[in-house]
Structure 1
Amino acid sequence: MTTVLLFAGVVLFLIGIHEAGHFLAAKRLGIAVEEFALGFGPVVWAWRRGETRYSLRLLPLGGFVRLAAESGETAEIPFERTYYGQPAWTGLVLALSGPLANVVLAVALVVGAILGFGLPRHRVAGLVPGRPAAEVFEVGDVILAINGRSAWATEDVGAAIRAVAPEPVTFGIRRGGQELDVSVAPVFSEEEGRYLVGAYFFPQMILPEIEHVTAGGSWSGAGFLPGDRVVSLCGVAVRWFFDLYEMWKQGCREALVEREGETLVLPLPDSAEGLSRDASFRTLPPIYERPPIGEGVVLSFKQIGGAMAGFVATIRGLITRDIPAEEAVTGPVGIATLLGQGVMAGPLIFFLLVALISLNLALFNLIPFPALDGARMAFALYEVVTRRKVSPRVETAVHAAGFVVLLGLVILITFQDLRRLFG
């Protein structure tokens, strides 16, 4: 129930911001607004202020701003204050104002979250014996900088290493309360096909303690239960998950396990897929630090840019069928699940997730599909180019048909989300 309320609250908030963009643009242009509505379906609550009726409706799946004469003529309002009494360029402004409001909100949320809560730092979560990193790093070291540039967990350490390989990489680290500079020369791994230093960089420190096992999976089949902690492999003590992983790669499968104060011996999974996918492990919380304001703003725009590029890549993949639709698209159930997970992950992740949803809402609405803002922009562009207005009845019919199609897609995606959630 809490997840449902959270979903409804977040969606109504984001839709409210979107529709407020349209509303304020219309008011600024002098267009009369007949209704500002959040949600679809039966009216739950409504009130009137001036010429505008404000309503909250039953289904929190959308909203609308009804402009004067948008669906036909009106005798009460002068023609110059109606939707169709405006020059063509105002249609572009009106259509773009909603997505723009969501983009502005997304930027504000990301900047506020990063400057307010900070970002996690990468840590040395494990070392590969015999590799260069093992000579200079200690497990638990906090990565502060790479080659003189501040480093955060939002960045790819491996990419930074490969950018200068085979030249040595200088890391600024914090060990205990002391800040140090260490230099590591990457080596080329024939097995991996790339340059590596031999360290695992993660925001979280991963313990060899099982948090969850997949029913019917290899860990469950070997007898492991949630709460089990691997204390040694083949007689060698392990403190971190990657200690376990490196010994597993060497062929060790016999684990001494601590369970509720007792010890027992259990076999580890034989396959790498089973080792990594059939169980999750307890982690220590990341270390969050607030970046300087200027750096935080730059990092925020990098996050926004990356999210936008990801959205475009997903749309391209859907069109070319390189990405299956069931993997790329999620509906109300999937979004509600993600929001619930975001709350559990902490305020930074939650606000970044809300920002991502707001940004995706903006970009999705720019697609030129009937009933979306992108289609309204297309109609406005047609009018600008041809200097001919599209018949209100034709435009209304096109958007109505598009709305029916979108509603059908939402229902279909919801069933897909439920099947994915409950198997």
Structure 2
Amino acid sequence: MTTLLVFVGTILFLIGIHEGGHFVAAKLLGIAVEEFALGFGPSLWTRKRGETRYSVRAFPLGGFVRLAGEAEAATDVPFERTYYGQPAWKRFILSLCGPVANVVLAVAVVLGAILGIGLPRPQVAGLVPGRPAAEVFEVGDVILTVDGRSAWATEDVGAAIRALAPEPVTFGIRRGTEQLEVTVVPVFAEDDGRYLVGAYFLPQLVLAQVDEVAAGGAWLRAGFLPGDRIVSACGDPVGSFFDLYARWLDGCRQATVDRGGAALALPLPDSVEGLFGDASFRTLPPVYERPGVGEGVALSFKEIGGAMVGFVTAIRGLLTRSIPAGEAVTGPVGIAAVLGQGVRAGPFVLMLLVALISLNLALFNLIPFPALDGARMAFALYEMLTRRKVSPRVEMAVHAAGFAILIGVLILITFQDLRRLFG
């Protein structure tokens, strides 16, 4: 129920912001707004104020701003205040303002999460025996700086190592209440074809303690039960799940388990799919720290920029068929499932997901497909460039056909999401 409420609330909020962008733009541009609605279908609540009717409708998976003259229905509004009575540049700005509102919201939410909650600092989540990092790091060390620069993401750590290798890399870390500075010399790993220090850097520490085991899965078949704490693998002490994984990659398939004070010897799963997919392990909360305002703003735009690149990459992969459609797109069911995971992960992750959905809503609407804002902008741009206006009836017919196609695609994606979730 919580997931459903969060999903409905998020969708209504984001669509309200999107349509609010169109609404405010229309008012500022002098275009008459006949209705501002959240949802589709029969009205649950309606009120008229001035020339605009405000309504909440039964199905909360959409919304709209009905402008005077946008449909073929008769209107008492003077032509110069109708949608098609506006010059092309006004219609272009009007269509653009919905996506812009969602982008602004996404930036604001990310900035609020970073400055209000903080960012999860990278941590040493595991060490590879015999590699340089094992000599200076301990599992649980929090990475503060790399080469004198703040490290706010695991990508920062990896990028610094790649940039400096094979030269020594200096890390500022926090170990308990103590702040230290350590230096590691990366070594070239021939099996990976790159320089490594031999540590797993993650935003959360995953302990080597079984939380849940899948029925019939590899861990349960091997004899593991929830609560089991893995203390060593092939005689080497294990401080985290990724300590265990490093030894598993080295060929170790035997673990010593502490089960209620009793030591047991149990075999490890043979496949990496079984190792990662058939059990969950106890995870400690991230270590959140807030950057300064200036750095927080820069990090917010970095997050938004990365999400934009991800969207464009997904669309390109979908068009070139290099990414399966099931991986590139998701519908309401998939979004609800992701938001449910965000609720369980905590407010920071949930806020980032809301920002990501808002940004994707903006970018999706900018695609020049009929019924989307991008197509309306394309019609307006065509008129500005050619000085020729497309017949309103033709444009409305194009958008109606596009809307029907989008509804059909949405139904297909929903079935795909249901099949993926429930098999």
Q: Which residue of 2 aligns with 1:191?
A: 191
Q: Which residue of 1 aligns with 2:77?
A: 77
Give how far 1:163 is off.
Answer: 1.1
Q: Which residue of 2 aligns with 1:64?
A: 64
1:132 aligns to 2:139 (yes or no): no
Give how far 1:154 is off.
Answer: 5.5
Aligned-partner Cα distance in 2 for 1:174–1:255: 30
Kindly provide the CA deviation profile for residues 52-82 of structure 1, in whole angstroms up to 9, marking residues without a partner as x: 0111111112111111111137452111111
Aligned-partner Cα distance in 2 for 1:16–1:254: 55
Aligned-partner Cα distance in 2 for 1:416–1:319: 18
Give how far 1:397 is off.
Answer: 1.2
- Aligned positions of 1:9-408 closer than 5 A: 9-72=9-72, 74-153=74-153, 155-260=155-260, 262-408=262-408
Structure 1, 406-415 or 218-227: larger mean CA deviation = 218-227
Secondary structure class of the residue paired with 1:368:
coil
Secondary structure class of the residue paired with 1:343:
helix
Secondary structure class of the residue paired with 1:369:
coil
Give how far 1:111 is off.
Answer: 0.5
Distance change (3 Å), C-alpha of 1:176 and 1:227:
closer
Aligned-partner Cα distance in 2 for 1:349–1:160: 25
Give how far 1:250 is off.
Answer: 3.9
Aligned-partner Cα distance in 2 for 1:263–1:177: 32
Aligned-partner Cα distance in 1 for 2:151–2:304: 18
Distance change (3 Å), C-alpha of 1:72 and 1:154:
farther
Aligned-partner Cα distance in 2 for 1:155–1:117: 20
Give how far 1:136 is off.
Answer: 1.8
The answer (yes or no) to whether the contact 2:154–2:201 under 8 Å persists in 1 is no
Q: Which residue of 2 aligns with 1:5?
A: 5
The answer (yes or no) to whether the contact 2:126–2:239 under 8 Å persists in 1 is no
Instruction: Tell me the TM-score normalised to structure 2 length.
Output: 0.96
Aligned sequence identity (%)? 75
Instruction: Tell me the TM-score normalised to structure 1 length.
Output: 0.96
Give how far 1:262 is off.
Answer: 4.7
Aligned-partner Cα distance in 2 for 1:274–1:120: 28
Give how far 1:167 is off.
Answer: 1.1
Aligned-partner Cα distance in 1 for 2:30–2:154: 44
Aligned-partner Cα distance in 2 for 1:21–1:129: 56
Give how far 1:268 is off.
Answer: 0.7
**Which one-letter code corresponds to 2:77 in the other structure?**
I
1:413 aligns to 2:413 (yes or no): yes
